[in-house]
Amino acid sequence: MKTVYYFLVLCFSVKAAAQSNSITATLLSPFRSDADESKKRPLKKKLFQRNQGAIVGLQRGTATAIELGGEAHWRKLSLFNPNIIGASTNLEYNFGGHVLGYKAGMWMKRGRVNLTYGGNVVYFTDFNGLQRYGLGPSVGFRFLGFHLINGYNFLAGDKELQQANTLHMTLRYYFPVQNKFTWDRETRKRKEKRREERAERKEQRNNEEEQEEKKGVRKFLDRVF
């Protein structure tokens, strides 16, 4: 009987201790700061890339034209959800119809093998007074610098200008010229803070060394004089 009695006392003691711990944690939870919780959560670093370059392409529609221009990319590098935004300005020239077109637009892509979606503002002239202008949505696929684009230009203006492409397909290639990598704002702040702390420590060490040198000079002068 004594063994059973001691066993029951032990069980009740363990249960009471567990309940007291849970009550203490509940009571202290409102006093826990968000900073403590944030320290437990790992900080995610985001790397961004910005580059600029040139594009050259071949466009095929009612007429065939070559494309030359420049393009800029803003990219978020990530293993699971990368994305890229591009902005381009270029000209296209149709040698057969002597039609020059100017185009400015933007496109975006989410993921690694997804399609690109964008739009353009276009203007065409034949140097003889005829001109057309409008907007053009586009859908494409981009891989390893190549960009295959299928688009349609909704044009207004002189309908006599027949050499301006409406439905068209373009194959472009992008030559990057300048690349720049930057971290996200929080990571940059942490890096800047660490650099400032290192600079302060370095300045403090230099000040201490200067003071030690001054003390050594004073001691030497006191001994001499």
More confident residue, 91 or 36: 91
* CA–CA gap between residue 52 and residue 176 (Å, rounded): 6
Q: What is the pLDDT of residue 149?
A: 96
Q: What is the pLDDT of residues 182-222, one digit of tens each?
A: 765 666 566 677 777 788 888 888 888 877 777 776 766 66
DSSP string, 156-202: EE-TT---S-SEEEEEEEEEEEEEEEEE-HHHHHHHHHHHHHHHHHH
Domains identified in the chain and CATH numbers: 48-183 (2.40.160)
The number of residues in the chain equals 225
Both tokens of 49, joined, read: 């890339």
What is the DSSP code (8-state) at residue 115? Answer: P
Largest CA distance in the chain: 115
Minimum mean pLDDT range among 66-70, 94-98, 133-137: 94-98
- Closest to 170 in 3D by CA, of 193, 138, 198, 214: 138
**pTM for the whole thing?**
0.60
Per-residue pLDDT, averaged over 45-49, amounts to 73
DSSP secondary structure string, 81-114? S-EEEEEEEEEEEETTTTEEEEEEEEEEEESSSP
pLDDT tens for 2-34 read 554 555 545 555 455 555 555 444 544 554 545
